[in-house]
A and B are shown apart, each in its own frame.
Chain A
């Protein structure tokens, strides 16, 4: 993963224990992990839900579930995959519960091409992207975000989204084409 950093090894219990009050991850290790991942994760949640307040809530819930999970992580990339898997599932569940708060997804033919004149970094450009992203399926949005915002490898994306690695290349290609078309073709 391009945005990867080192993380001290965390030894965790394999047994799930509902009544656990102490996390096996210590506070210092958590602080470091949080500092490295929280902003990117929040941006991911905003794009997945289309709602900043909901993203705030889901961010805390994601870290809580991450801490409570009794999973063993081999390395930083694996740990991040778990975090994004939890976040993705929470965003999907939240979306199902509050569909009214998130823009409806039009069918493929009804998608209006967004303006290609707005530069990507401008507020108009970001609004264009938000509109174009909202026209994608949640899994498509997650896939593109992990690939092109988080710089995740195919293996990491497959792990974080629960997709077979063999299908990912085709899915990513199609979704990228779709978003590029919605953005009005490639920018120079």
Chain B
């Protein structure tokens, strides 16, 4: 079974992190690393990564903590307002749906064409009603679809649109 750890690994890592590797790491450790494949990998990888980190850290131009804190607070408040506004949006959508329903009812009550169609439907038997409904749908398909859209789809679209704001 292949060896995956070496007892000197921690010592090599410590030398790298403390910038002692390789010059100030001691002759004994250097000699070990020269003949230990595991420690050689650790020294190479940790050395390269650690130096890359130091270089990146030195050139990092970051916003100060206060600015990050204030931005986070502002964003949290904005999100809290959005969250609090969601029930209002839902109520508005329900009200809109009710208004559309009322509009449909008023239309049904006042439109002679609609009442006539209803009267014709009431005077015939159920088979004829179905046929009449089918005929109504075929002859006035666009209108029926618009009505369905107004009652069901428009409130849904409004809900989605307002919910995303």
B-contacting 9-mer, from A4-12, A75-83, A93-101, A179-187: A179-187
| B66 interfacial contact with A, CB 8 Å | yes
| B84 interfacial contact with A, CB 8 Å | yes
Contact of B84 among A19, A125, A170, A188 (CB under 8 A): A19
Question: In the complex, A63 Cα to B48 Cα: how many Å?
Answer: 28
Residues of chain B within 8 A (CB-CB) of A170 are: 4
Question: In the complex, A34 Cα to B67 Cα: how many Å?
Answer: 11
Q: What mask results when residues 55 to 66 of chain B are scored 1 for a CB within 8 Å of chain A, else 0?
A: 111001011011
Residues of chain B within 8 A (CB-CB) of A187 are: 22, 43-44, 47-48
| A137 interfacial contact with B, CB 8 Å | no
| A39 interfacial contact with B, CB 8 Å | yes
Question: In the complex, A169 Cα to B75 Cα: how many Å?
Answer: 40
Within 8 A of A (CB), among B24-61: 30, 33-34, 37, 40-53, 55-57, 60
Residues of chain B within 8 A (CB-CB) of A147 are: 46
Residues of chain A within 8 A (CB-CB) of B146 are: none
On whether the beta carbons of B69 and A31 are closer than 8 Å, the reply is: yes
Residues of chain B within 8 A (CB-CB) of A177 are: 41
Within 8 A of B (CB), among A19-45: 19-21, 23, 27, 30-31, 34-35, 38-40, 42-43
The closest CB in chain B to the CB of A34 belongs to: B65
| A176 interfacial contact with B, CB 8 Å | yes
| B125 interfacial contact with A, CB 8 Å | no
Count of A-B contacts with CB under 8 A?
Answer: 132
- Known contacts A34-B68, A120-B47, A129-B49; A169 and B57 CB within 8 A of each other: no
Q: What mask results when residues 63 to 89 of chain B are scored 1 for a CB within 8 Å of chain A, else 0?
A: 101101101110111011001100000
On whether the beta carbons of B51 and A125 are closer than 8 Å, the reply is: yes
- The size bracket of the interface on B is 35 or more
Please classify the interface of chain B as helix (H, G, I), strand (E, B), loop, or mixed, using the class held by over half of its residues. helix
Size of the A side of the interface (Cβ < 8 Å), in residues, is 51
Contact of A149 among B41, B53, B66 (CB under 8 A): B53
Question: In the complex, A68 Cα to B68 Cα: how many Å?
Answer: 13
A83: min CB distance to chain B, Å: 13
Contact of B72 among A42, A67, A125, A185 (CB under 8 A): A67
The closest CB in chain B to the CB of A2 belongs to: B17
On whether the beta carbons of A23 and B72 are closer than 8 Å, the reply is: yes
Residues of chain B within 8 A (CB-CB) of A176 are: 41-42, 45
The closest CB in chain B to the CB of A32 belongs to: B65
Q: A144-B49, A173-B4 are in contact. List 5 more A-B contacts (CB 8 A).
A: A23-B72, A38-B62, A120-B48, A126-B52, A188-B30
Can you list 9 A-B pairs, Cβ within 8 angstroms, ordered by A?
A18-B79, A38-B60, A42-B60, A63-B72, A125-B51, A129-B49, A170-B4, A180-B45, A186-B37
- Which 5 A-B pairs have CB atoms at the shortest separation, nearest pair first? A186-B40, A43-B56, A149-B53, A34-B65, A186-B44
